[in-house]
Structure 1
Amino acid sequence: MHHILPALRQPLRQQRSVDSNLSTNADSGAGGTFAGNAAAAAAAAAAAALAALGSPQMDLQSMASMVECQGLRKRMDQQEAARKSAKHRELQLQHEVEDPDWMMRRMGDLERDSDAWHTERSSVEERVSQLVGIVSAAPKDEPQRASVADSQEELCDHDNGSW
């Protein structure tokens, strides 16, 4: 078992210079290259193997490299998930643009939404106009609370209770 340890340590020592370059890429938000990510994964595997074997020579720098590799792996997974999501959305948009009927359906949906909005706006404007008319026709000497309650009742009666 001890003859495996030198073989695992050597790639880890060589990997430390690559790890420092990868941390620069990860800090910049650009992400590492595929080869850099593979090297980081290999370094993490080597560090994990040393830890699993209980190597007494695992020092703080090796631990730091292992933690850094885990962070890089997590960042790589996040970037891969974001890439897949963007690719899926791109394909979805491409299918929508290529579908000639989609544009007509979308225009129909937008026209229906617009018509519904205009109808609702007209209804609200009409109701506001009715309320203004009722409030302005109310006698000035009655308490304000009573005239508002009466105007609401009149409006509900006028709209057949659909207020």
Structure 2
Amino acid sequence: MSANDPFARLPEAVSFTVTSANVTDGSAWSPEQLSGMSGVPGGKDVSPQLSWNGAPEGTKSYAVTVYDPDAPTGSGFWHWAVADIPATVTELPEGAGDDTGSGLPEGAFQLPNDARAARFIGAAPPAGHGPHRYFVVVHALAVESIGVAADATPAVLGFTMAGHILGRAVLTASAETPA
């Protein structure tokens, strides 16, 4: 496993709390959050339930990202990115990140992940590659709309958010595919 810290070069941000009914911080994903689309047996590509609280004062919207810095790509792998979640929303239901974003609040939208699908795609580390970390992050933002196009990449979202992040809530999940 790499020591790669995806936050090392990002602006400092106030910490707040994110929890999930599907995974405990530091634990392995359940089969629902593994990728059947990528051939993981039993994987269902279901986005996790997320709840957050304690965001800093002045939060006007949220974005949610799921990122694997351990993917053998040189740039990691973005599994999910959601932008423009209203500040009044503090929870996403399990499965919100389906093909239609059916569980997302009005105004929020999904950007294409690194598989180029605007949805959640589950974990699928290459067989024998070792454990991968999945950073589930709720970003508290100082703007109501981040102003990125719906077809932008998660990296563009991250770059655009950098100057607007007030707080960051992080939950880390893991997965490993045996050799």
* Category of TM-score, reference length = shorter chain: under 0.3
Higher relative CO (CA 8 A, sep ≥ 6), structure 1 or 2? 2
Structure number with greater Rg is: 1
User: TM-score w.r.t. structure 1 length?
Assistant: 0.19
Q: More helix per residue: 1 or 2?
A: 1
Q: More strand per residue: 1 or 2?
A: 2
User: TM-score w.r.t. structure 2 length?
Assistant: 0.18
